[in-house]
Amino acid sequence: MQEKEVINTLQNHFNFSSKSISNLKIFINLLLKANKKHNFISKSTESDIWHRHILDSAQIIKFIDFSKGSLSDLGSGAGFPGMIIAIFNRNKDFHVKLYEKSPVKRAFLNQISKKLSIKANIYGNVYNEILDSDYVVARAFKKLEAIIQVSREIAKNSHKLIVLKGQNAQEDVEKAFKNVKYAYKLEESITNKDSKIIIVDFKK
């Protein structure tokens, strides 16, 4: 999908406001500028950033209830998917927390948050924290087994874990859930036929 088609999808299927779309454009411009120095995303994906990164991140919005609570993004990197969710979020009572251990990436996330006047709390290494969110999300963070371990051991509340996985998603799921008993479901990704969205309900 090209930029215009992705924007139409974001507005018509995911209810992104005109303000959110404007903020996404600013975010992309700043990211591409920073990427010349820091290589936050692969150079080969820059031309397809709207589809490969923005839409891929935004598609999990339909699994989130923004009426109350909070969300934690593990290993947010350059802001995927957490900053995209924060840009979409219009409820001041719903809190988005981004966890990123890299000081350079945290500085970039703080720059975006201030530039766009977005309510996003940015923290360091997630392993130094106690998660208390209603949703935990991850994209390109760690192996699924490690993500499940974080949800199981660091999160103190019942929550929904949402993980974007690329190729070999089915194999990763079978391996990760071989020795653990949690209810989960797989959703098809709208950006890649070989990718999946894994949703796990953790009860405390």
Dump pLDDT digits (tens) for 154-174.
Answer: 887 888 999 998 877 778 888
> Three-state SS for 74?
strand
Distance CA 176, CA 182 (A): 11
Q: What is the mean pLDDT of the chain?
A: 92
* pLDDT in the model for residue 145: 84
Strands 95-99 vs 70-74: parallel, antiparallel or unpaired: parallel
Q: Which of 14, 10, 126 is nearest to 64 (CA)?
A: 14
Helix residue ranges, H only, the chain? 3-13, 18-38, 49, 56-58, 82-88, 103-115, 144-153, 169-176
Distance CA 49, CA 42 (A): 10
Quick check: 63 and 162 in contact, CB under 8 A?
A: yes
What is the separation of C-alpha 139 from the centre of its chain, rounded to a whole number of angstroms? 6
* pLDDT tens column, 55-97: 999 999 999 999 989 999 999 999 999 999 999 999 999 999 9
Distance CA 40, CA 34 (A): 8
* pLDDT in the model for residue 127: 77
Does residue 179 surpass a pLDDT of 80? no
**Residue that has been written with the tokens 């990704």 in this structure:** 189
Count of all residues that appear for the chain in the document: 204
Say if pTM beats, i.e. exceeds, 0.85: yes
Distance CA 7, CA 36 (A): 25
Does residue 146 surpass a pLDDT of 90? no
- Domains annotated on the chain, with CATH: 3-202 (3.40.50.150)
* pLDDT in the model for residue 171: 80
